[in-house]
Amino acid sequence: MRKEFIHSAKFPLIFVIVITFIHLYSTLNDIKLSHWGIYPRETKGLYGIVSSVLIHGSWKHLFNNSIPFLILGTALFYFYRKLAMKVCLYSIIFTGILVWLGGRPSFHIGASGLVYALASFLFFSGFIRKHNNLMALSMIVVFLYGGMVWGIFPSKDHISWEGHLFGAVNGLFWALYYKDEGPQRKKYSWELEEDVLKSLEGIQVYYEEVPKLYTDKKSVELKYEFKRKGLKNK
């Protein structure tokens, strides 16, 4: 378990190191990187769809995104190992696209949209899968970061609530999209029997009696024809 935990923390830790180095370099050299953010509905803001998550406006901004990403990212890679990288990359791209389409005309920077996407995915995925361990994780996310929900509403002008909102929407979308992939709830025997019975719903049995003329003994021949509901015979 310890090795798995360390392995799960690798990508989140590397990501935090990279964004910290970028901010440190820009601060020491007095370089403004905000123009690498997303500028909605302008071609100059398109590359920000990818680069904006690497740029932060202050050390406080960086810190507020780094700690949640380390925690949520590690949880994502630990419990959803096969899906984690796809959820991260797709959330960055599609959250960025939505901000570019629907954000206010200003540069949007920071990894908060990604943080909201991870929190949303971890929360909804646990309940969608009805997996005990994952639902417990969902409740932990609520306990630690439930207050983040207020960030999806317009508040201060310098805060990109659009990034928060679209990030949360992305997290919910990927939780639904990948609900049949990754860890699944164990089904008990009685549940499997119910699934079999449901699969047999709509099957009809037809029989016909063969006239005595064609038989030397009184007998009945049964002919079975199976049809599922919603299917037409050709």
Amino acid at 200: L
DSSP single-letter state for residue 42: S
Report d(CA 49, CA 38) in Å as an integer.
6
Residue 11: HSE in the Cβ half-sphere, 13 Å Cα cutoff: 16
Contact (CB, 8 A) for 126 and 181: no
E-assigned strand segments in 153-213? none
User: What pLDDT sits at residue 231?
Assistant: 47
Give tens-digit pLDDT for 94-147: 999 999 999 999 999 999 999 999 999 999 999 999 888 889 999 999 999 988
pLDDT, greater one: 122 or 233 = 122
* pLDDT reading at 27 higher than 90: yes
Mean predicted confidence (pLDDT) in 201-207: 56
- Residues 86-96 have pLDDT tens digits of 999 999 999 99
Q: Please name each of the domains of the chain with its CATH number.
A: 2-177 (1.20.1540.10)
Q: State the CB neighbour count (10 A cutoff) for residue 101.
A: 12
CA distance readout (Å), 155 to 44, 48, 98, 150: 26, 23, 19, 9
Q: Phi, psi at residue 55, to the nearest 5°? A: -110, 135
Average pLDDT estimate for 151-169: 92
User: Percentage of the chain with pLDDT > 70?
Assistant: 79
Residues 6+ apart with CB under 8 A from 160: 99, 103, 108, 109, 110, 112, 113
